[in-house]
Amino acid sequence: MRGKVKWFSREKGYGFITDEQARDHYFSVQDARGANLPASGDHVQFQSQDTSRGPRASGIQLVARSEEGRRGDDRVRCGHCERKMVPRIISYQGVVERSVCPFCAETYRDFMLPPSTPLWRWVALVVFVLVVFIGC
Ligand SMILES: [Zn+2]
């Protein structure tokens, strides 16, 4: 059957799909097929099974990415291995230190640079421009 991802948490590893009859189906990250993880608003195809806890989706395949999902695509190209990736955030005692490429583990962005370096200013400018343009 077909449905739309109601929400999915990458952190928790589970979410819900709403089918065409407006029934919610639980799914976990292991139920998704392919390299692309489902994101909120995506259209998917799946099998459903009734369990004691309610309907559960399996064999989830992406039919179409949502517009929302495309706008929220936070993948970037790693400057080291050239692969498209979502940087992994490395934090120490609650302070974000840097982000790394999940494939080659090279540092993508170092958040601990002293605030007076030109790179920091450049990053701040880019972030500012992004916030202004995407925020509205
Ligand atoms: Zn890399």
Distance from residue 107's CA to the centre of ligand 1 (Å)? 8
Same domain, 81 and 126: yes
Which residue in the block uniquely carries the two structure tokens 């799914």? 27
Distance from residue 21's CA to the centre of ligand 1 (Å)? 43
Same domain, 32 and 10: yes
pLDDT digit string (tens) for 2-47?
A: 999 999 887 788 899 999 999 999 998 888 887 677 888 899 999 9
10 in helix, strand or coil? Answer: coil
Distance from residue 106's CA to the centre of ligand 1 (Å)? 6
Distance from residue 78's CA to the centre of ligand 1 (Å)? 5
pLDDT digit string (tens) for 94-132?
A: 777 888 999 999 998 887 766 555 677 778 888 888 888
Instruction: Please state, in angstroms and rounded to a whole number, the distance separating the CA atoms of residues 53 and 25.
Output: 10
Distance from residue 100's CA to the centre of ligand 1 (Å)? 8
Same domain, 51 and 80: no
Distance from residue 23's CA to the centre of ligand 1 (Å)? 40
Among 28, 49, 70, give the residue marking a domain's end: 70
Distance from residue 57's CA to the centre of ligand 1 (Å)? 33
Same domain, 62 and 87: no
Helical residues (DSSP H) of the chain, grouped into ranges: 67-71, 118-135
Which residue in the block uniquely carries the two structure tokens 């640079």? 113
Instruction: Please state, in angstroms and rounded to a whole number, the distance separating the CA atoms of residues 118 and 114.
Output: 10
Domain count, the chain: 2
Domain range for 42? 2-70
Among 32, 51, 70, give the residue marking a domain's end: 70
Among 43, 70, 97, give the residue marking a domain's end: 70
DSSP 34: S
Instruction: Tell me the pTM.
Output: 0.50
> How many Cα atoms occupy the beta-carbon half-sphere of 75 within 13 Å?
12
Residue 54 φ/ψ region, left for φ over 0, alpha for ψ in the -120 to 50 degree band, beta for the rest? left
Same domain, 126 and 106: yes
Question: Average pLDDT, stretch 59-63?
Answer: 90
Distance from residue 94's CA to the centre of ligand 1 (Å)? 24
Q: What is the CATH number of the domain that holds 58?
A: 2.40.50.140
Same domain, 93 and 64: no
21 in helix, strand or coil? Answer: coil
Same domain, 128 and 84: yes
Buried b (16+ CB within 10 A) or exposed e, 50-82: eeeeebbbeebebeeebeebeeeeeeeebeeee
Same domain, 129 and 81: yes
Distance from residue 77's CA to the centre of ligand 1 (Å)? 8
